[in-house]
Structure 1
Amino acid sequence: MLRHVCYLLLPLALLGNPVRAAVPKVCDLPGVDLPAPAAANRAPESWGYDAQTLMVRNVSRPTLTPVLPAPGTATGAAVIVAPGGGFFGLAIDKEGCQVARWLAARGVAAFVLKYRLNATPADESQFKVELERVLRGGKASFSLPEDTPPEAAADGLAALRHVRRHAGQYGIDAARVGFMGFSAGGFLTRTLVARGGEDVPAFAAPIYPNMEPLVVPGNAPPMFVAIGQQDFLLKGARLPLVESYLAAGKPIELHLFSDDEHGFGMGIKDKTSDGWLDTFYHWLAMRGLLAQARPASR
């Protein structure tokens, strides 16, 4: 599916010539390296700004950056946040750090996941030329993924395991660690629900994700979905992802914003997506996920 829509999934920064970022650090905070084999013959990780949007490409070493609530304000809940970008880049600020800071300010520990991406040319101009060639059905040094690449899925699982293993250090409840992803990060969120096994997140929030059917496991967590009615990922009048959850008897909440297209991030002023994070926070509260933290097991 990504083959046909990846051009629109990729933020504009990946298609232009961004100015290099001076300090390539997620949220200007130290991160934790996640386990991953060393990548051979890869272009170096590339950071840059375009229209004030911070982007990163060619990630081969995954990291997880904690953005924690102020002392005394923690609810005990935690969310891993996976930015989108078609698995060729990450909108690390718009769909990562900004969301994480919003959550932390309301007592929810957030962890921005910089997951591994498919390799692309180091030179921005060459990347742009090759991407446009691929999207027209031509050949290039890379191809477009159909769904979540194995490396990204492995990084999502590693992030869940790390946060739960260090729950006491982060002041959270290991039983209340969820996963939120935007666009391609929403594809990743779906993958962790379907294939996470015993590591499945406690709750899942795919935001403008792949809306195709999902194989829903018996331990599927509650799911919160937000997407614009004008999003190209919606096809026809049906909502297969929602139907899959309903057929499996699992709780799912859908917010379909009539004014919005793909990529609204934290919401767009004067459109119906404005304030959707408040709705998500209310959903967490109504599901009992924002109770005070339980004592961490020793």
Structure 2
Amino acid sequence: MKRLSALILSLVAVPALAAPGDWVKGVLPVATPPAMASVDLPVTLPRANPAHEAWAQQTPDQRLVYNVSKPQLIVWPSSLPADAEAPAVLLVPGGGFQFLAMDNEGFDVARRLDSLGVRVFIVKYRTQPVPDSIDGFKEALGNLFQKGAPVDLTNRDYAVADTQAAIRLVRKNAARWHVNAAKVGILGFSAGAMTTLATTQANAADARPDFVGMIYGPTEKSEVPANAPPLFAAIAADDRFFIKQDFGLFHAWRQSGAKVEFHLYSAGGHGFASQPNGTTSDAWFDQYALWLKANGIVSR
């Protein structure tokens, strides 16, 4: 049970230097951003959520969305020529399954990925229902961070179902979106990394990623799918949520004969996706870009 509680807490991406209580107090409501090009994802696992989707901000440049009940695939505007076929990367943000860190692990990463010559999509998957108000949302976060309240881990199943639907949709619309259907990968952060791993382990033929990235996600040994795709993983040694986990997952990946690249940074905390800390973890994106090129996924 103690191990499960630690795993639950590990799914939430928060700044490494902020105390949980201070972080929750700093969350403020914010207007819903302008609509972006998106496609509704088919709901294969219905879930009732009477609350309304809402946005909040952790800091002025870091927004969160919660009570997501209608999963969507956000199509990031590409700088590539309209008819240029390219690999696709689907971003899967984290947030403890209670919210999605849309700037830190979505929009900000999408901007950087676009420069590598890939088509970028963001999976806006369903989140766990929380009270229908900013105060209710903050209370839910406080319970999670400070009181260790149980989290409905079945929401991971909804996140996986939505991510699988997103992969299927990108492949189905490969010609429309000028995507190379044989190069569709996913990159997940925190709870999104756990979703990414579970999606890969499901090994569904039509929803199997061709390459996988996990940033500050689980590292302990677990099932490796048959003919596992190339894996890139990065985490900081002082990640307070995963600090007690071993690295059996990467050994098992290697033992299966699949490609794996793992970066263990000496510092960086948790949630460093688009938040430089002056630590070696700041290099994760450049190393991910080199990995994409070394594996023949991109040419830039």
Deviation digits for residues 62-93 of structure 1 (CA, Å, limit 9, x no counterpart): 01111143243956111000110000001011
Alignment gaps of 5+ in structure 2: 15-19
- Tell me the distance in 2 between the aligned counterparts of 1:85 and 1:276: 20
Deviation digits for residues 39-65 of structure 1 (CA, Å, limit 9, x no counterpart): 535211111223121100111100111
- Tell me the distance in 2 between the aligned counterparts of 1:130 and 1:266: 25
Runs of 4+ in 1 over 6 A off after TM superposition: none
The residue type paired with residue 113 of structure 1 is V
From the two aligned structures, give the one with the greater strand fraction: 2
- Tell me the distance in 2 between the aligned counterparts of 1:39 and 1:14: 29
- Tell me the distance in 2 between the aligned counterparts of 1:123 and 1:284: 41
TM-score (norm 2): 0.86
| Structure 1 residues 1-298: aligned runs within 5 Å | 3-7=5-9, 9-11=12-14, 15-16=24-25, 18-25=27-34, 28-36=35-43, 39-52=47-60, 53-72=62-81, 76-133=86-143, 136=147, 143-146=150-153, 149-198=156-205, 199-236=207-244, 238-266=246-274, 268-291=276-299
CA contact 1:194–1:215 (8 Å) conserved in 2: yes
- Tell me the distance in 2 between the aligned counterparts of 1:157 and 1:80: 11
The two structures, once aligned, show a CA RMSD in angstroms of 2.5
Query: How many aligned positions are there?
Result: 286
CA contact 2:93–2:101 (8 Å) conserved in 1: yes
Aligned partner of 1:296 in structure 2 is none
The residue type paired with residue 130 of structure 2 is T
Deviation digits for residues 127-156 of structure 1 (CA, Å, limit 9, x no counterpart): 333444465356xxxx41447621111000
> What is the DSSP-based 3-state SS (H/G/I as helix, E as strand, rest coil) of the residue aligned with 2:290?
helix
The residue type paired with residue 278 of structure 1 is D
TM-score (norm 1): 0.86
CA contact 1:17–1:124 (8 Å) conserved in 2: no
- Tell me the distance in 2 between the aligned counterparts of 1:206 and 1:148: 19
Q: CA deviation at 1:20?
A: 2.9
The residue type paired with residue 257 of structure 2 is G
Alignment gaps of 5+ in structure 1: 293-298
- Sort the Cα spacing of 1:267 and 1:17 in 2 relative to 1 into closer, same or farther, 3 A: closer
> What is the DSSP-based 3-state SS (H/G/I as helix, E as strand, rest coil) of the residue aligned with 2:25?
coil
CA contact 1:16–1:125 (8 Å) conserved in 2: no
